[in-house]
Amino acid sequence: MRNPIYLGLAAALIALPSYGDDLEELIVTARHDTRTINVTDELSISPDVAQLLKKAPGASVNGNGPLTGIPQYRGMYGPRVATSMNGAQLAPSGPNWMDPPISYAVGGQLESLEIYRGIVPVSVAQEAIGGAIDARANRGNFTTGEDFELSGRMIGSAQTVNSGYHLNTAVYAGNRNHRIKAAAMTESGDDAEFKDGDITPTEYERQRYDLGYGFRSGDHTLQLDYGYNDTGDSGTPALPMDIESIEGDLYNLSYTLDRDPSGLQIAIDLYASDLDHRMTNYELRDAPPVARWRRNTAASDNLGFNVATTLLDETGRWVIGFDGFSAEHDSDIDNPSNPMFFLTNFNNAERDVYGVFAERHQEFNSAWRGEFGLRYNRVEMDAGKVDGTPATMPPGQMLRDAFNSAQRDQDDNNIDLVARAWYKASETTSWYAGLARKHRSPSYQERYLWLPLEATGGLADGNTYTGNIKLDPEVSNQVEFGLDYSNDSLTLSPRIFYNKVDDYIQGTPSEVAPAVMLVRMLNDMNGTSNPDPLQFNNVDAELYGFDLDWAWRVGEHWSMSGLVNYVRGKRDDTSDDLYRIAPPNATVRLDYSTASWSAGIESVMYAKQDNVSDTNREQETSGYGVVNMSASWQATPSLQLAAGVDNLFDRKYRDHLGGYNRAANEDIDRGERLPGYGVNAFARVVYEF
């Protein structure tokens, strides 16, 4: 199955133009309907970069632990939201997404988070039925002279809610032809507090090291980046296990050619990662009886490439390219106190996607412009045979044998279509409309989970699942409308959307008799009361709603801004609602700023969520509001000091996306929805040179 990926990599290398090509020069600037969060300006000291997504309209975060935030956009989450780092994809090493792709983005080394609002262009991501996010790292700059110039940034922060700290140092050196980056980060925190006690386990520790080198000659730029991630003991109280370690190497090689005025740009990315992950249910949380100790050792190997060519003409531009991404997963469970117990959870579970796309950006006249895209993806999946101690029982044996004898090699051929248009009605007002038909093939968990387990990509609903090899791809039919208004003092950008998803992949009550028998048998043996398992199946769903971001400059120093989000997700084939949908919410912020200092206060409000999934046994949540304050002072051109308080009034609340407690905790019952963090005072120092 890997052959198409390697052929694509070879083609990408062959496509590299020689440095002697005699082409004219052109610099192409892409234009996307995006929201960019400047990480340097945002005063956030959370170790989880995903929390910054709450600054963008339509975005939210499923929280399973302090480092385990999973992006949600307009009710879609997990692999439905394409996430990349400088354009490179990554498949998490853990089958329960303890390390979602965005967790490998380091806040202190980022320049920005770019969120594609609504329908995603076909050139941006392979599978993006629920939005796309790109984390942009600071790679340093080329200069105009021969002499190297040295620069850097040092960041230190601390917070009270978990005695957490973050230290990051990045040093850059560059001249007109070369740029070099070296960076290191360390962060740590204890169990977080809330009004009535501690949330255990929510401790964390992580180190990250990055090196980068860039070479520029004329219109050619070559960039090589390497990152090493080392995550230690970190809690995930909404999941059945905690992180013991996540280690891995990340590689990225990119090439760009910009020619002017020929109208040509070529961008090539080759990237890979090698990730290893260990998790346990007995180290950070109170251990169960020794017979039920579990340790999961998992790994993922990722390999990918992107090749895109942009051609300008008198009325617009073409973007044409091809890409590929291959991920291989292994996951083995054992009991360190019982050498006889073993479980091959996933064995060489492979998922390869390679595609071609063409995208046209057309300027019809001074008022109208449009974007039209076509993408074809070939998705190939396979998995090796499995086994385990549970297969010594008749129901487990039947599940194992049925899986091993099944046709596990599955292929999908998916075609995506995008059409978007903008109409400039005046100097202040533009109207927008978009249509799309997009696909997502099943994840390896959804297809190849053979035994009833909770290895579900971070669903965190407490149910056990089995996969379904015969799943069809999800088909998302999207329509959205919007307005962009901006004058000297006021900016408004509302959007309304509707998303009809055929063959939506959802857990439904299992009709696989051996799976149901096994769960009931284990309940009798262990004295537990786990519900009957679910199975991933195709259903029909719809999501609709609106989101808005706005900003109003009141005077020379005062300004206000905010967000409003509403999404409704429900099944079409039954009367049930979709699981883990963010409740309606709004943010209002008031800021005062001068040339050297600024201060702000914000109110974050969430409505109750009573549209919950009966299938997933989802609990309702009450509405709440919290108040946050922050201030920053540019003491010198190089030194910035900042501080603030989150949840100023120490409000006790429960985030609907926060998951349920799975660990023994004297302050929180098992199965109770996890509380939000309590009052948190924090401070940050940034020094640049």
Condensed to tens digits (0 to 9), the pLDDT of residues 343-374 reads: 999 999 999 999 999 999 999 999 999 999 99
How many whole angstroms from its chain centre is CA 199? 24
Confidence of residue 40 (pLDDT cuts 50, 70, 90): low
Q: What is the CATH number of the domain that holds 134?
A: 2.40.170.20
Confidence of residue 2 (pLDDT cuts 50, 70, 90): very low
Residues near 106 by beta carbon (within 8 Å), at least 6 away in sequence: 49, 137, 168, 183, 185, 208, 210
pLDDT of residue 15: 42
Confidence of residue 591 (pLDDT cuts 50, 70, 90): very high
Taking residue 685's Cβ as centre, other Cβ atoms within 10 Å add up to: 15
Has residue 38 got a pLDDT over 80? no
> Which tokens belong to 83?
């996430």
> Strand pairing of 132-137 and 82-85?
parallel
CA distances 578 to 112, 210, 508, 661, Å, are: 31, 40, 12, 21
Which of these, 446, 619, 469, 656, lies nearest to 534 by C-alpha position? 446
Task: Note down the domain range covering 100.
Answer: 3-688
Average predicted confidence (pLDDT) for the chain: 93
Burial class from Cβ neighbours inside 10 Å (0-12, 13-18, 19+) for residue 10 reads exposed
Has residue 210 got a pLDDT over 60? yes
Which SS3 state, helix, strand or coil, does residue 57 take? coil
> Which tokens belong to 279?
């998790």
Confidence of residue 18 (pLDDT cuts 50, 70, 90): very low
CA distances 434 to 91, 497, 499, Å, are: 29, 9, 12
Which SS3 state, helix, strand or coil, does residue 484 take? strand
Has residue 634 got a pLDDT over 80? yes
DSSP lists the bridge partners of residue 480 as 434, 497
Q: How many domains does the chain have?
A: 1
The lowest-confidence range among 33-37, 164-168, 411-415, 533-537 is 33-37
Which SS3 state, helix, strand or coil, does residue 253 take? strand
**What is the DSSP secondary structure assignment for residue 345, as one 8-state letter?**
E
Strand locations in 175-294, DSSP E?
Answer: 178-189, 192-194, 197-199, 204-217, 220-231, 242-259, 264-280
Q: Distance (Å, rounded) from C-alpha 589 to C-alpha 628?
A: 9
pLDDT of residue 45: 83
Q: Distance (Å, rounded) from C-alpha 379 to C-alpha 84?
A: 19
Q: For the chain, what percent of residues have pLDDT higher than 90? A: 91
